[in-house]
Amino acid sequence: MRTAIITGASSGLGFECARTLLAADRAWHVVLAVRDPARGTAAAQRLGEQQRCTVIKADLASLESVDEFVQRIRTAGLPPIHALVCNAGVQVISGTQRTADGLEMTFGVNHLGHFALVQGLLGELAPPARIVVVSSDTHDPTKSTGMPAPRYTSAERVANPAEDGDGRCRYTTSKLCNLLFAYELDRTLEHGRRGVTVNAFNPGLMPGSGLARDYPPLQRFAWRYVLPALRFLPQVRSTRTSGAHLAALAADPRFADVTGQYFDGLDPIQSSAESYDRGKALDLWHTSQRLAQRREPNRTAAQPDS
């Protein structure tokens, strides 16, 4: 048996990734890392594989909750952990919301919570292991996504904005952070030589997913009922299709030795020019380390080569 941990697995992309893993190979045990354990338990029931699922609370908007999740994993007696899927995400457009730690919510959940989670779990991964970070083509201003370009000046300013800004821009900036983090983590882990690969993933535009829950009513209506009719467009995909692609990156033997790549579905592509900026990656890494300081030292935390 082997374990895969999936954040945000109670619905949408994470749920479909869990469904594919459980159906593909009975050797997989899946940890549903979820903000609401009741919804996680309901998801495990819908998956029909409760004996191969473990539900553990992980509120990525709280570094204390992330710490507690890591401790639970360390004492849960799970099969060896061979996959970690950083999938959970939010998009907040109604003003500035803050995490339990006082940081801007979109950055805190989409990037910092996952950064702290990965740092806490690196020593628990059993090589060969894979980390997959869900990003989005909305990070790339050259793509026609209908979203504003990211605005990354420094990680400190992204985490602690001085004023209310465009929530959609904060979302695309967080997706850029996902890529900066994934590439720096891959460099830190010596491009797979430590037995852990790292890749990033663009799931495409998925109508019906929870990312539009903070939109005004008319936009929520279009997201749920109009966009699904446009699935003939290449960038529009169902959560089931993208979930299967995400599961493949986490488990399919075809990708066993692939690392440091950005995938659109199952196709490796180039991400934005800004996502390869090493200076911004190191700024993000060091700021994230400072913001995610743990109450007790984590001896397994990865350190970048400065």
Average per-residue pLDDT for the chain: 90
Catalytic residue, candidates 152, 171, 215, 262? 171
Note the pLDDT tens digit of each residue in 6-21.
999 999 999 999 999 9
Handedness of CA 225, 226, 227, 228 (dihedral sign): positive
What is the CATH classification number for the domain harbouring 128? Answer: 3.40.50.720
pLDDT for position 234:
54
Q: Extract the tokens encoding 196.
A: 């852990």
pLDDT for position 103:
96
User: For residue 124, is pLDDT > 90?
Assistant: yes
Q: Whole-prediction pTM value? A: 0.89
pLDDT for position 203:
95
Residue type, 225: Y
Note the pLDDT tens digit of each residue in 208-247.
555 545 545 545 444 454 444 444 455 678 899 999 999 9
pLDDT for position 236:
76
pLDDT for position 229:
45
Residue type, 178: N
Residues 6 or more apart whose Cβ sits within 8 Å of residue 76: 54, 56
Task: Say if 298 falls within a structural domain.
Answer: no
Task: Say if 189 falls within a structural domain.
Answer: yes
Band of residue 300 on the pLDDT scale cut at 50, 70, 90: very low
Q: What total number of domains does the chain contain?
A: 1
Q: Extract the tokens encoding 270.
A: 């180039």
pLDDT for position 213:
56
Task: Say if 305 falls within a structural domain.
Answer: no
Band of residue 299 on the pLDDT scale cut at 50, 70, 90: very low
Query: Percent of the chain scored above 70 by pLDDT?
Result: 86
Q: How many CB atoms lie within 10 A of CB 100?
A: 13
Residues 6 or more apart whose Cβ sits within 8 Å of residue 254: 248
Note the pLDDT tens digit of each residue in 274-285.
999 999 999 999
CA nearest to 107, candidates 230, 295, 287: 287
User: For residue 304, is pLDDT > 90?
Assistant: no
Give the whole-angstrom CA distance, residue 215 versus residue 160.
Answer: 23
Give the domain range for residue 203: 2-291
Task: Say if 216 falls within a structural domain.
Answer: yes
Find the range with the poorest average confidence among 61-70, 164-173, 175-184: 164-173
> Strand ranges (DSSP E) for the chain?
2-7, 28-34, 53-57, 81-86, 125-134, 196-202, 262-264, 267-269
CB 23 within 8 A of CB 103: no
CB 158 within 8 A of CB 173: yes
User: For residue 40, is pLDDT > 70?
Assistant: yes
b/e burial code for range 236-255 (CB count within 10 A of at least 16 → b):
bbbbebbbbbbbbbbbbeeb
Residues 6 or more apart whose Cβ sits within 8 Å of residue 162: none
Task: Say if 240 falls within a structural domain.
Answer: yes
Respond yes or no: is residue 171 known to be catalytic: yes
Task: Say if 306 falls within a structural domain.
Answer: no
Task: Say if 26 falls within a structural domain.
Answer: yes
Task: Say if 66 falls within a structural domain.
Answer: yes
Note the pLDDT tens digit of each residue in 75-100.
999 999 999 999 999 999 878 899 99
